[in-house]
Chains A and B, each alone.
Chain A
Amino acid sequence: MARHVIAPVNELPPGTRKLLEIDGRPIAVFNIKGEYFGLMNRCPHQGAALCEGPLIGLAQSRDPGEIEYTKLGEIIRCPWHGWEFDIRTGQSYCDPRRFRVKAYPAHVEPGASVVKGPYVAETIPVTVESDYVVVEL
């Protein structure tokens, strides 16, 4: 696994991102509150440059009228169709094409309200080495 230096830490302050091409692959590296995350810059839905979208939060609701807005700045929203992915894991929170009540039994477990679709953006491990942000690929 090769390690690629992305940028000096001070060039990637919290809340910013950097788009690169490494070994022919489009990669985006994010600094979220001092943590670094790499993401393949390609939406698994129709192939848009995923990381050109805005960073938003995650809106969820247990009941109509109750809205919980969490993970502020940790969800990337595709610039085309608005599909949302967790920067930390690449996980898509909703797959409207395969959403079926049947597929999600009603037993209770932590995070059971989160519906995970099969579309997962490819994540790339990122480490801070000395004063440089490094991505492993």
Chain B
Amino acid sequence: MNIQFRESQETASPLTSKTAIADCDIHPARATRTELYPYLAKRWQHHLEVYGVHAYQGMMEGPPYPKAQPNASRRDAYPPEGGPQGSSLSFMQKQLLDRNNVQLGVLNPLGTGQGIRNHELSAALCSAINDWQIDKWTSKDKRLKASIVVGNEDGLSAAAEIRERAGDKNFVQVLLLSRNVEPLGQRRYWPIYQAAEEAGLPVGVHAFGFGGNPITPSGWPSYYIEEMVGHSQCQQSALASLVLEGVFERFPKLKMVMIEAGFGWAPSLAWRLDKVWQRLRSEVPHVKRPPSEYIREQVWWTTQPMEDPERREDLFDVINWIGWDRLLFATDYPHWDYDEPSRVLPAGVSEANREAFYLGNAKKLYGIA
């Protein structure tokens, strides 16, 4: 009888990708409730203790639906030293960066200072998050780059934060969320786009946020699964607004990244917009070209959640329309709907397209040598 065995030390399967990759959607978390205090003025620490944080969505502490797994995260992503998933650099290095040969990791902190009704508090928290990203993450691991978190509902203070960080190589994009008080093309957000364009930074629009509106276009749903698919509907509204308000026309060098809302819907949205625009263009004469042209020239897409159709040809059809140069690979680590790099792209993709998909597009967009 063979009695040899050893306790398993693996936290995941050995099916690792040795291909160098970029991961364009990583969510770093705070280990403790007060971890941002060193970056916040005493006045705001006091404010948080006495009054707390008020989102646009009333009667809410935390997300409106439980998120399938604790903290919406992989159950195997708790750091060994304690704290929530995504709060330990050393464990993130081991479980994500080293294991998957990540050369570039873009940090998108969530649950920060965005979408808070007190705009001064919002600006202070966003600035603190940005300082914290440098101190805890990007200065400690050169593979990691941060997104500038801005108080999105106050375009002027958001633009000021972008200008303060512009030129700092720790940052590679500006981060917005998809659920806002108004559709993202509205003029209140234009100072953000202006500052981002001046700084040469893409603007990422990540699914989620609490803008005070129902989380699907037809109201509050019964199930979390409806919220999950609702993110793509929300991004579609945001993108239509950006096109039709003339944001892409007004800021022709602006680059937008649609993060974590899929991309399979992009062609049909563009086709619809083009068709209606041909008939109703006199309503929006500032939109001078077919909407699909702006979308194809100025929009990039992160992959997670990857569309997963039964026929791989269907996926390739969509990507061929969007362009193999427009997709940015992302895992969404440590969140539960994480995509495993070695498992998401079907066979049958040319080496050049694979390289662009996993790494090249991201390095080019984010200006990483």
Assess whether B5 is in contact with A22, with CB atoms less than 8 Å apart.
Answer: yes
Assess whether B6 is in contact with A52, with CB atoms less than 8 Å apart.
Answer: no
Partner of B75, one of A5, A6, A79: A79
Which partner residue on chain A sits nearest B15 by CB separation? Answer: A47
Assess whether B6 is in contact with A82, with CB atoms less than 8 Å apart.
Answer: no
- Write the A1-24 contact mask toward B (1 if CB under 8 angstroms, else 0): 011111000000000000111100
Q: Is B282 an interface residue (CB 8 A)?
A: no
Which partner residue on chain B sits nearest A96 by CB separation? Answer: B308
Assess whether B343 is in contact with A49, with CB atoms less than 8 Å apart.
Answer: no
Assess whether A2 is in contact with B2, with CB atoms less than 8 Å apart.
Answer: yes
Q: Is A61 an interface residue (CB 8 A)?
A: no
A74-125 contacts to B (CB < 8 Å):
79-82, 97-98
Partner of B310, one of A46, A80, A98: A98
Assess whether B69 is in contact with A79, with CB atoms less than 8 Å apart.
Answer: yes
User: Interface with A: B154-162, B187-195, B332-340, which one?
Assistant: B332-340
Partner of B74, one of A22, A45, A80: A80
Q: Is B280 an interface residue (CB 8 A)?
A: no
* Least distance between B44 CB and chain A CB atoms (Å): 36
Which partner residue on chain B sits nearest A129 by CB separation? Answer: B1
Assess whether B75 is in contact with A53, with CB atoms less than 8 Å apart.
Answer: yes
Q: Is B218 an interface residue (CB 8 A)?
A: no
CB-CB under 8 A from A82, the residues of chain B are: 68-69, 336
Assess whether A52 is in contact with B1, with CB atoms less than 8 Å apart.
Answer: no
Assess whether B74 is in contact with A19, with CB atoms less than 8 Å apart.
Answer: no
Assess whether B8 is in contact with A26, with CB atoms less than 8 Å apart.
Answer: yes
Chain B contact-residue range equals: 20 to 34
Complex Cα gap A27–B8 (Å): 8
Which partner residue on chain B sits nearest A43 by CB separation? Answer: B13
Q: Is B12 an interface residue (CB 8 A)?
A: yes
CB-CB under 8 A from A52, the residues of chain B are: 11, 75-76
Interface SS majority for chain B: loop
> Given contacts A26-B13, A53-B75, is CB(A46)–CB(B343) below 8 Å?
yes
CB-CB under 8 A from A43, the residues of chain B are: 13
Assess whether B8 is in contact with A21, with CB atoms less than 8 Å apart.
Answer: yes
Q: Is A54 an interface residue (CB 8 A)?
A: yes
> Given contacts A46-B340, A81-B337, is CB(A5)–CB(B76) below 8 Å?
no
Assess whether A4 is in contact with B340, with CB atoms less than 8 Å apart.
Answer: no
Q: Is A128 an interface residue (CB 8 A)?
A: no
Complex Cα gap A55–B339 (Å): 23
Partner of A41, one of B6, B8, B75: B8
CB-CB under 8 A from B74, the residues of chain A are: 48, 79-80
Which partner residue on chain B sits nearest A53 by CB separation? Answer: B75
Which partner residue on chain B sits nearest A21 by CB separation? Answer: B8
Complex Cα gap A47–B331 (Å): 14
Q: Is B369 an interface residue (CB 8 A)?
A: no
Assess whether A47 is in contact with B11, with CB atoms less than 8 Å apart.
Answer: no
Of residues B4, B5, B337, which shows the largest number of chain A Cβ atoms within 10 Å of its Cβ? B5
Complex Cα gap A20–B2 (Å): 14
* Least distance between A53 CB and chain B CB atoms (Å): 6
Complex Cα gap A15–B68 (Å): 22
Complex Cα gap A1–B340 (Å): 33
CB-CB under 8 A from B76, the residues of chain A are: 48-49, 52, 79-80
Which partner residue on chain B sits nearest A50 by CB separation? Answer: B13
CB-CB under 8 A from A81, the residues of chain B are: 336-338
Which partner residue on chain A sits nearest B16 by CB separation? Answer: A47
Which partner residue on chain A sits nearest B335 by CB separation? Answer: A80
CB-CB under 8 A from B4, the residues of chain A are: 4
Q: Is B164 an interface residue (CB 8 A)?
A: no
Partner of B10, one of A6, A26, A45, A79: A26
Complex Cα gap A105–B336 (Å): 34
B295-314 contacts to A (CB < 8 Å):
308, 310
* Least distance between A11 CB and chain B CB atoms (Å): 12
Q: Is B7 an interface residue (CB 8 A)?
A: yes
Complex Cα gap A41–B10 (Å): 10
Complex Cα gap A2–B3 (Å): 9
CB-CB under 8 A from B7, the residues of chain A are: 19-21
Complex Cα gap A57–B18 (Å): 37
Complex Cα gap A98–B309 (Å): 9
Which partner residue on chain A sits nearest B11 by CB separation? Answer: A49
CB-CB under 8 A from B11, the residues of chain A are: 49, 52
Which partner residue on chain A sits nearest B338 by CB separation? Answer: A80
**For the complex of A and B, 4 pairs with smallest distance between CB atoms:** A79-B75, A47-B13, A46-B340, A19-B8
Mind listing 10 A-B residue pairs with CB under 8 Å? A3-B1, A5-B3, A6-B5, A41-B10, A42-B15, A45-B343, A53-B75, A80-B75, A80-B337, A82-B68
